[in-house]
């Protein structure tokens, strides 16, 4: 099964009309806070009750209630209630299996998913088959009660097939803030689109009611079709009458191009997070869908530059062989992953952002020095995360957030105390620095793998907002009160808007709703050139006294890593004991070193540069967001509103 482009498609175009799901369900945690029919937030949360559903309006209730009452989900025992089982029962209620493998035109993957065999590439225990067995049994019991028929093998087989179809084809539905709300299953127009770790399309959700959100950047057209060899079996239109009653409700979906697509080229999306190394992606795809990805990126030997960077760890092992060094690095990777995940989990559960920042920065700065389990006589081994390693990127994301929370917590205690103000200001600077480093690092990878555009869009928007927040901080006044260097805020923001002509051109592209690939490349190159130049003027100010950030000489231009992309290997200098044999490393500044800008600027210029840098990051992130989600999407409208507010502040200062 595959879907191919029926015409040539430019970057940032809707490929499908707005698609309505065949089945859907909220996660248990959202049943009392969101409408079960359209997934919109409820005006006020209802009491948490195991089985009843809540709706935002009478039309939503009228749309879903009949299906809810006839799907047998009301007979599920409370312990068995889950979004997967509810969605599977609703799918089975409105669509009966057409063969031993298909339901509503969807592949169920039934024989493969129910196989108890554990894949050789997985080092984790797999419970998928057991989960299906228990879930299907609960569904079969509910169906037999609803239909008043014996709970026999035929009913169990139907339940198993429906559950497998949901697990194979359902997608996680997220709200505008990225929170997971529930799952939805769509017809073959979407479900037949295959996965790739280098996809040429993505998808966005539409959660509001049709009248307020049905308009698009362009006429709604279906620009993809099943592979010609599939014949009449590729028909994506459902003839089920019950489907027509719920049409327009539920979380809807639109597929959108993120690359230029040729006519007849297969259209692909990502089923997993592609900002991860190959091994992690492969394991996630196998554990959930039971297939091994063979896309061009996964087949590349040696690994692509991006995959090499995402998994790279610097190993300093005294007199070790290459094979043994790789074994140690694999073990170190798992240990470092556990360390970072433990710190983040503790932060989310305990809520101590300052402790989280200290621990993560220690891991980034010092790496792994402890003795690895099952390894004897290698206490002199040292392992450092590469600055572009996916664990490093996860750490940057958490640090940017945690430092911002630290600053907020300090000001909430007593914002009138100058020392609190100053410390909060420093933490806001560090938060902005990590946001900028995260955006620059992922953009560097984006240069070699353009499919990362969705992640890069979010990170540039985050960096822009963080920088603008810093530029408006009350901490500037505290610095002035304490006699520290401080720019004149009023004069700094009076730079002419004409200096932001690139921002205006980017906003014009967003407003037009379309940009061709050639123009996008030109704008991207100009943006990076400008941002690289201006970052040099403020990076020393942002990094404050953070040792790890001082080791990152430039968060935008990563030539300081002295990588050799052509050979798919990266070689870095490192300050370590010369008795160690280094394979791959990078420079850490001594802890007492001070970063000095190549072009010293006045303090007024620092604030003006922060404002311009924030505006450009935000605008460019908005442009990437418009390519991924459309110019009328929530995230792009938010960016435009912030830019309007900042422009008015400048013009009326």
For the segment 437-492, what is each residue's pLDDT rounded down to a tens digit? 999 999 999 999 999 999 999 999 999 999 999 988 877 766 655 555 444 444 44
Rounded to 10°, the helix 322-350/353-366 angle is 170
Of 289, 296, 234, 228, residue with least CA distance to 259: 296
Spell 150-189 as b/e; 16+ CB within 10 A means b: ebeeebbebbbbbbbbbbbbbbebbbeeeeebbbbbbbbb
Q: What is the pLDDT of residue 231?
A: 41
Residue 584 has pLDDT above 70, yes or no: no
Residues 536, 611 within the same domain: yes
Residue 319 has pLDDT above 90, yes or no: no
The highest-confidence range among 112-121, 268-277, 594-603, by mean pLDDT, is 268-277
Average pLDDT, the chain: 81
Q: What is the DSSP letter of 153?
A: H
Give the separation between CA 29 and CA 26, rounded to whole angstroms. Answer: 8
68 or 122: whose pLDDT is higher? 68
Residues 363, 406 within the same domain: yes
Rounded to 10°, the helix 453-471/418-446 angle is 160
Q: Pick the last residue of a domain from 391, 416, 441.
A: 416
Give the separation between CA 533 and CA 556, rounded to whole angstroms. Answer: 9
Q: Pick the last residue of a domain from 354, 383, 416.
A: 416
Reported confidence tier of residue 384, pLDDT bands at 50, 70, 90: confident
Residues 411, 439 within the same domain: no
494 part of a folded domain: yes
Residues 399, 434 within the same domain: no
Residues 442, 478 within the same domain: yes
| Non-local CB neighbours of 386 within 8 Å, separated by 6+ positions | 309, 312, 313, 314, 392, 570, 584, 586
Of 70, 72, 182, residue with least CA distance to 136: 72
520 part of a folded domain: yes
Q: Domain limits at 464?
A: 428-560+596-652
Residue 305, phi then psi, degrees to nearest 5: -55, -45
Three-class secondary structure of residue 179 per DSSP: coil
Can you read off the two tokens belonging to residue 437? 């480093």
Give the residue-averaged pLDDT of 156-170: 93
CB 268 within 8 A of CB 193: yes
Q: What is the pLDDT of residue 476?
A: 72
Q: What is the pLDDT of residue 137?
A: 95
Residues 433, 318 within the same domain: no
CB 392 within 8 A of CB 551: no
Three-class secondary structure of residue 570 per DSSP: strand
Residue 8 has pLDDT above 70, yes or no: yes
Give the percent of the chain with pLDDT over 70.
76
Residues 465, 548 within the same domain: yes
633 part of a folded domain: yes
CB 438 within 8 A of CB 396: yes
613 part of a folded domain: yes
Residues 333, 450 within the same domain: no
Residues 517, 451 within the same domain: yes
Q: Taking CA 456 as the corner, what is the angle to CA 453 and CA 461, rounded to the nearest 5 degrees? A: 125
| Rounded alpha-carbon distances, angstroms, from residue 168 to 38, 142, 194, 200 | 22, 22, 12, 21
| Non-local CB neighbours of 166 within 8 Å, separated by 6+ positions | 23, 84, 87, 88, 91, 183, 185
For residue range 501-520, list pLDDT tens digits in order.
Answer: 889 899 999 998 889 999 99
311 part of a folded domain: yes
Residues 443, 463 within the same domain: yes
533 part of a folded domain: yes
Give the residue-averaged pLDDT of 93-121: 74
Give the residue-averaged pLDDT of 150-169: 93
Q: Pick the last residue of a domain from 416, 438, 473.
A: 416
Q: What is the pLDDT of residue 455?
A: 96
51 part of a folded domain: no
Q: What is the pLDDT of residue 45?
A: 73
Q: Return the bridge partners of 24, or none.
A: 184
149 part of a folded domain: no
Of 169, 213, 167, 205, residue with least CA distance to 187: 169
Residues 376, 476 within the same domain: no
Residues 530, 614 within the same domain: yes
Residue 600 has pLDDT above 90, yes or no: no
Residue 203, phi then psi, degrees to nearest 5: -145, 155
Q: What is the pLDDT of residue 196?
A: 97
The whole-model pTM stands at 0.86
Of 272, 206, 269, 221, residue with least CA distance to 3: 269
Structurally, the chain folds into a number of domains equal to 2
Q: What is the pLDDT of residue 477?
A: 67
């Amino acid at each position: 099964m595959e879907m191919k482009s029926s015409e040539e498609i430019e970057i940032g175009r809707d490929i499908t009309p707005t698609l309505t799901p065949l089945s859907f369900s909220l996660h248990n945690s959202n049943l009392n806070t969101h409408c079960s029919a359209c997934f919109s937030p409820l005006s006020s949360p209802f009491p948490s009750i195991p089985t009843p559903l809540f709706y935002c309006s009478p039309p939503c209730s009228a749309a879903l209630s009949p299906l809810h009452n006839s799907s047998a989900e009301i007979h599920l025992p409370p312990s068995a209630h889950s979004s997967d089982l509810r969605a599977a029962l609703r799918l089975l209620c409105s669509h009966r299996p057409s063969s031993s493998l298909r339901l509503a035109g969807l592949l169920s993957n039934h024989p493969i998913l129910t196989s108890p065999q554990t894949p050789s590439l997985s080092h984790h225990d797999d419970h998928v088959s057991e989960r299906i067995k228990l879930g299907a049994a609960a569904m079969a019991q509910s169906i037999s009660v609803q239909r008043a028929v014996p709970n026999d093998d035929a009913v169990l087989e139907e339940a198993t097939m429906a559950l497998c179809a949901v697990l194979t084809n359902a997608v996680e539905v997220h709200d505008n803030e990225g929170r997971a709300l529930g799952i939805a299953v769509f017809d073959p127009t979407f479900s037949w689109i295959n996965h790739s770790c280098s996809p040429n399309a993505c998808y966005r959700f539409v959660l509001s009611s049709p009248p307020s959100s049905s308009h698009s950047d362009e006429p709604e057209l279906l620009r993809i079709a099943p592979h010609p060899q599939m014949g009449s079996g590729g028909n994506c239109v459902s003839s089920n009458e019950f489907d027509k009653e719920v049409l327009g409700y539920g979380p809807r979906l639109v597929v959108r191009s993120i690359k230029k697509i040729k006519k007849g080229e297969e259209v692909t999306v990502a089923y997993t997070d592609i900002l991860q190394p190959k091994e992690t992606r492969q394991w996630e795809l196998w554990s959930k869908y039971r297939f091994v990805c063979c896309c061009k990126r996964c087949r590349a030997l040696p690994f692509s530059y991006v995959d090499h960077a995402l998994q790279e760890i610097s190993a300093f092992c005294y007199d070790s062989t290459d094979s043994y060094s790789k074994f140690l690095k694999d073990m170190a990777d798992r240990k470092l992953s556990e360390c970072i995940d433990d710190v983040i989990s503790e932060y989310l559960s305990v809520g101590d952002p300052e402790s989280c920042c200290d621990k993560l920065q220690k891991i980034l700065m010092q790496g792994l020095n402890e003795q690895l389990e099952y390894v004897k006589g290698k206490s002199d081994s040292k392992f450092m995360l590469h600055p572009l390693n996916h664990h490093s990127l996860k750490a940057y994301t958490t640090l940017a957030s945690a430092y911002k929370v630290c600053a907020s917590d300090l000001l909430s205690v007593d914002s009138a105390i100058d020392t609190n103000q100053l410390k909060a200001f420093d933490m806001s600077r560090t938060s902005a620095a990590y946001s900028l480093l995260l955006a620059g690092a992922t953009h560097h990878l984006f240069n070699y793998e353009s499919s990362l555009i969705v992640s890069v869009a979010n990170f540039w928007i985050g960096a822009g907002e963080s920088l603008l927040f810093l530029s408006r901080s009350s901490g500037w006044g505290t610095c002035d009160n304490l006699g520290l260097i401080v720019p004149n805020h009023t004069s700094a923001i009076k730079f002419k808007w004409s200096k932001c002509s690139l921002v205006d051109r980017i906003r014009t592209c967003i407003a037009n709703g379309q940009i061709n690939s050639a123009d996008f490349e030109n704008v991207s190159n100009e943006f990076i050139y400008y941002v690289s130049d201006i970052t040099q003027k403020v990076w020393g100010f942002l990094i404050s006294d953070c040792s790890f950030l001082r080791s990152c000489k430039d968060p935008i231009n990563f030539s300081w890593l002295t990588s050799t992309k052509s050979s798919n290997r990266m070689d870095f200098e490192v300050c370590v004991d010369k008795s160690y044999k280094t394979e791959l490393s990078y420079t850490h500044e001594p802890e007492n070193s001070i970063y000095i800008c190549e072009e010293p600027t006045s303090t007024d210029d620092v604030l003006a540069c922060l404002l311009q840098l924030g505006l450009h990051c935000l605008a460019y992130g908005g442009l990437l967001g418009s390519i991924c989600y459309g110019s009328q999407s929530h995230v792009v409208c938010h960016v435009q509103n912030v830019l309007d507010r900042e422009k008015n502040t400048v013009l009326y200062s």
